[in-house]
Amino acid sequence: MPKLIIDGKEIEFENGQTIIEVAKKDGLEIPHFCWHPSLSISGNCRVCLVEVEKMPKLVIACSTIAADGMVVNTQSEKTLNARNAVMEFLLINHPLDCPICDEAGECKLQDYAYKHSAGESRFVETKNHKDKRIQLGPRIMFDQERCISCSRCIRFSDEIAKENQLTFVQRGDHVTIRTFPGEEFDNPYTLNTVDICPVGALTSNDFRFQTRVWELSSTESICVGCSRGCNTEVWVRDNEIKRLTPRENFDVNSYWMCDHGRVNTWKNVNADTRIDGCLKDGEKISWEDAIKSVSDGLTQYQPEEILFIGSAFASNEDNFLFKKLAEKKGVHEVYFASAIKPGDADDILIQEDKTPNSLGASKIGLTGSNDNKSLSKKISDGKYKAAFILEDDLTRLEEDVIKSLQNIEFLIVQATNENQLTKEANLVLAASTFAEKHATYTNFLGMVQRVKPAVTSANMDRALDSMSKSRWDKFATTFDRWGRGKKYDSKPGWSILSGILNEMGEEKNYQMAEDVFDELAKEISDFNGMNYDTIGSGGALLKSFTKQEAETV
Amino acid sequence: MPQKKRSKDLNFLEKIYLPEIFNGLMLTLKNMFRPNVTMQYPEQKFIPPASYRGRPVLVKENDDTERCVACGLCSRVCPALAIEVQPDETALEKERFPKLFEINMLRCIFCGFCEEVCPEEAIVMSKDYELVYTNREDAIYGKDKLLVPVEELSDRLEFLRNFK
């Protein structure tokens, strides 16, 4: 293997790698703005200049191919001077509006100005003023002044989103970014440009001016918007989700996620429609009473009179215990309704299947079909007198099917938010959302992935449940208004179901989601040998699936 | 135990105490004719100098808008975590404003860091030292109590420009 020397350290590399890649692999960061590992090389920001022995001038590390025996110096006086000079140029027309800039705190320019710049400007002339609020697309606001023309957003929309929508116009210090005439920056992936923008030039309409980033806590999670299950970070302040950002996982979503997932999939967590405590015929009742009512209610019916509908929106653990509960009642067929939106998919990330766990549900032994016909027929036949529906509003089913479901004698609905079924239900069990529990989901590639609690519900405590904490969470007392985010009285699905199982005489007592998953892994062959540790933050593959790189991304 | 001997026995005048009593009375009498230095608070109020750090307040401009841009630096620097800021977007040139600005006066330690860090001279220490409340909720000051017209704060703003 060829070797080169960076700052006196010998590093092996593969032919074709650039200096910056070799350095990165070894854990050494060469400063860069325009270079991004999954975008083409543009080489316009010049901040990655390094000195290579026997080369007459400094070279940019992002586009110089590493060669055997090369001696690179990233800390020589010449390099540092050049880096300083580049920073000074970049800062000439950059406004000093960090206090009102949403990027502040996670801004590359801010960090590098601190690390790699002299800290003083010799520029005494007036800065170039441009437009600060340009709506580039439905979800993106552009601040021309802040842009350092790195072209990452342009390359992203060309190469990753595959839509040529952005371009540079003008020259020199008038250069700016705009959409092509008559076009809007509206592809399904626009918000990724907010993440890769090294400054605060591109901001998300949804998150803009909502909070400072250093006030948030972040938790590893996944997106539940479709069966891709993009890896995410959930950012929370005052027990309220403020934004979702993608987390890199090359087996699933690379660095990206779609706008729909980022903006819409978590809005139900703090919505007014959340179910806050269990309801019996519309009246609030205690958890004990609710669980007793379920168990007592179901004993009055014969197995063939009870319908169990699991859910592809619910986690593996929830569906597993739901199946167990059905079997305990002597019901062996448990259904789930799929949510396929034909045509609403692309070859980047978005999948037609809009549920996060349909593969998991079927692996666990639930029955579902793409068109939900057989399920609809079963319901309309009308022989069922009791039904238990797990975390699904079933809006995809036809109206008369829903009608007959609503007319069932004893209807139990376990739900996170109010929907057409909770209104008619005899018993509503308040379930926690994906953001309030430990759980696993199985995506269409056979990847079992974990979510961790980011928001607390009534019976949880950030410190005791070792959840991530912001500075506010750490020091809040009961007398601080900022420490009093709304907590809903809900429980994770598995916990409710194991309560019902225990009430029905099941011996096994599940203490936490991990216990349920361990049993699942023992009983279902595809999950054999998995546990929460092996899944980790990157996911683990089902046994019958082979690894494939997240196709195009 | 043998009684300890005094280092010096009192003489007759000291024993009868009267001269010392008159001495004391003389001192009282003298002070009655000296100028009075006690301030008759609360009938009479103490007006502190511009360098005084009273309760932090927000500057209200003449057009009734707050000068604050809700950058949250005061909140970040506050060692006692007394300040909470919730920003929002405005059509004004400054782009953002505090939708909610609360200072918990039970937490505030009057250090003045918020004033020092403020990039807009929007939060300043006032001359107000009369902070009374009967419950914890009242001690959390919102924008209604915090906003003070800029003219009333001219002293402090001038002080900051000269000495900050």
Strands A386-390 and A306-311: parallel
- pLDDT at position B2: 64
Residue B164 CA to residue B162 CA, distance in Å, equals 6
CA A252 to chain CA mean position, Å? 11
pLDDT in tens, A148-174: 999 999 999 999 999 999 999 999 889
SS3 state of residue A311: strand
∠ CA A433-A436-A441, nearest 5°, is 65
DSSP assignment letter at A31? P
Q: Which of A446, A451, A449 is nearest to A363 (CA)?
A: A446
pLDDT at A311 over 90: yes
Residue environment code for A247-276, b if the CB has 16+ CB neighbours within 10 A, otherwise e? bebebbbbbbbbbbbbbebbebbbeeebbe
- pLDDT at position A551: 54
Strands A335-337 and A306-311: parallel
Residue A429 CA to residue A291 CA, distance in Å, equals 9
Strands A134-135 and A439-442: unpaired
pLDDT at A377 over 90: no
Average pLDDT over residues A515-527: 95
Partner residues linked to A72 by β-bridges: A6, A52
pLDDT in tens, A452-490: 999 999 989 898 888 999 999 999 888 888 877 899 999
Verify whether the Cβ–Cβ distance B81 to A215 is below 8 Å. no
Residue A312 CA to residue A362 CA, distance in Å, equals 9
SS3 state of residue A532: helix
The DSSP annotation for A404-457 comes to HHHT-SEEEEEESB--TTTTT-SEEEEB--GGGS-EEEE-TTSEEEEE---S--
Residue B64 CA to residue A171 CA, distance in Å, equals 41
Residue A204 CA to residue A220 CA, distance in Å, equals 21
Q: CB-hemisphere CA count at 13 Å for A285?
A: 17
pLDDT at A183 over 70: yes
Tokens of A371: 């068109």
Residue A308 CA to residue A504 CA, distance in Å, equals 16
Please, what are the domains in chain B?
56-163 (3.30.70.3270)
Residue A83 has φ and ψ, to the nearest 5°, of -60, -45
CATH says A3-92 is which class? alpha beta
Average pLDDT over residues A28-50: 95
Helix (H) or strand (E) holding B162: helix B154-163
Portion of chain A with pLDDT greater than 70, in percent: 99
Average pLDDT over residues A21-30: 94
Neighboring chain A residues of B86 at a CB cutoff of 8 Å: 211
Tokens of A222: 């996944």
Q: How near does any CA of chain B get to the CA of A211, in Å?
A: 6
Portion of chain B with pLDDT greater than 70, in percent: 96
Residue A244 has φ and ψ, to the nearest 5°, of -120, 135
Count of Cβ atoms closer than 10 Å to residue A212 Cβ: 20
Q: Which amino acid is residue A335, in one-letter code?
A: Y
Average pLDDT over residues A85-96: 93
DSSP assignment letter at B92? S
Average pLDDT over residues B50-60: 96
pLDDT, chain A, mean:
93
Residues 6+ positions from B77 with CB-CB distance below 8 Å:
B113, B114, B116, B117
Reply yes or no: is the peptide bond before residue A356 cis, omega within 30 of 0.
no
Contact assessment for residue A446 and residue A542, using Cβ atoms and an 8 Å cutoff: yes
Partner residues linked to A340 by β-bridges: A353
A278-539 CATH fold: Rossmann fold (3.40.50)
Tokens of A457: 């519900």
pLDDT in tens, A261-284: 999 999 999 999 999 999 999 899
Residue B47 CA to residue A293 CA, distance in Å, equals 69
Residue B76 contacts A where some CB pair is shorter than 8 Å? yes
ipTM above 0.85, yes or no: yes
Selecting from B70, B71, B95 the residue whose C-beta is nearest the C-beta of A132 gives B95
- pLDDT bin (cut points 50, 70, 90) of residue B1 is low
Average pLDDT over residues A219-244: 95
Contact assessment for residue B99 and residue B90, using Cβ atoms and an 8 Å cutoff: no
Residue pairs spanning A and B at CB distance below 8 A: 45
Window B:46-65, CB contacts with A under 8 Å? none
SS3 state of residue A515: helix
Q: Which of A18, A91, A23 is nearest to A59 (CA)?
A: A18
Residue A272 CA to residue A198 CA, distance in Å, equals 36
Residue A397 CA to residue A400 CA, distance in Å, equals 8
Residues 6+ positions from B95 with CB-CB distance below 8 Å:
A100, A132, A133, A209, B69, B89
Q: Which amino acid is residue A470, in one-letter code?
A: S
∠ CA A463-A249-A548, nearest 5°, is 140
The two counts, helices (H) then strands (E), for chain B are: 6, 6
Residues 6+ positions from A510 with CB-CB distance below 8 Å:
A321, A494, A495, A498, A516, A519
- pLDDT at position B4: 66
Verify whether the Cβ–Cβ distance A212 to B140 is below 8 Å. no
pLDDT in tens, A113-159: 999 988 888 999 999 999 999 999 999 999 999 999 999 999 999 99
Residues 6+ positions from B16 with CB-CB distance below 8 Å:
none
CATH says A108-264 is which class? alpha beta
Tokens of B37: 């230095």
Count of Cβ atoms closer than 10 Å to residue A477 Cβ: 11
Chain A interface test: which of B69, B74, B83, B84 (most A C-beta within 10 Å): B84
Average pLDDT over residues A367-392: 88
R_g of chain A computed on alpha carbons? 27
Contact assessment for residue A468 and residue A454, using Cβ atoms and an 8 Å cutoff: yes
Verify whether the Cβ–Cβ distance A212 to B84 is below 8 Å. no
- pLDDT bin (cut points 50, 70, 90) of residue A553 is low
Neighboring chain B residues of A133 at a CB cutoff of 8 Å: 95
Portion of chain A with pLDDT greater than 90, in percent: 83
Chain B interface test: which of A134, A135, A205, A482 (most B C-beta within 10 Å): A482
Residues 6+ positions from A371 with CB-CB distance below 8 Å:
A340
Domain extents in chain A: 3-92, 108-264, 278-539
Average pLDDT over residues B79-85: 95
- pLDDT bin (cut points 50, 70, 90) of residue A397 is confident
Verify whether the Cβ–Cβ distance A100 to B95 is below 8 Å. yes
- When mean pLDDT is compared over A241-245, A401-405, A484-488, the highest value belongs to A241-245
Residues 6+ positions from A284 with CB-CB distance below 8 Å:
A277, A278
SS3 state of residue A364: helix
DSSP assignment letter at A512? S
Verify whether the Cβ–Cβ distance B81 to A475 is below 8 Å. yes
pLDDT at B164 over 80: no
Selecting from B73, B75, B87 the residue whose C-beta is nearest the C-beta of A209 gives B87
pLDDT at A528 over 80: yes
Verify whether the Cβ–Cβ distance B140 to A481 is below 8 Å. yes
∠ CA A87-A90-A95, nearest 5°, is 120
Contact assessment for residue A71 and residue A52, using Cβ atoms and an 8 Å cutoff: yes
Owner of token pair 């069922």: A384
Residue of chain B whose alpha carbon sits nearest to that of A215:
B76
pLDDT at B138 over 70: yes
Residues 6+ positions from B103 with CB-CB distance below 8 Å:
B55, B56, B82, B83, B140, B141, B146
Q: Which amino acid is residue A385, in one-letter code?
A: K
Which residues of A touch chain B, with CB atoms under 8 Å apart?
99-100, 132-133, 208-212, 214-215, 471-472, 475, 479-482
Residue B86 contacts A where some CB pair is shorter than 8 Å? yes
Tokens of B44: 């009479």
Contact assessment for residue A257 and residue A553, using Cβ atoms and an 8 Å cutoff: no
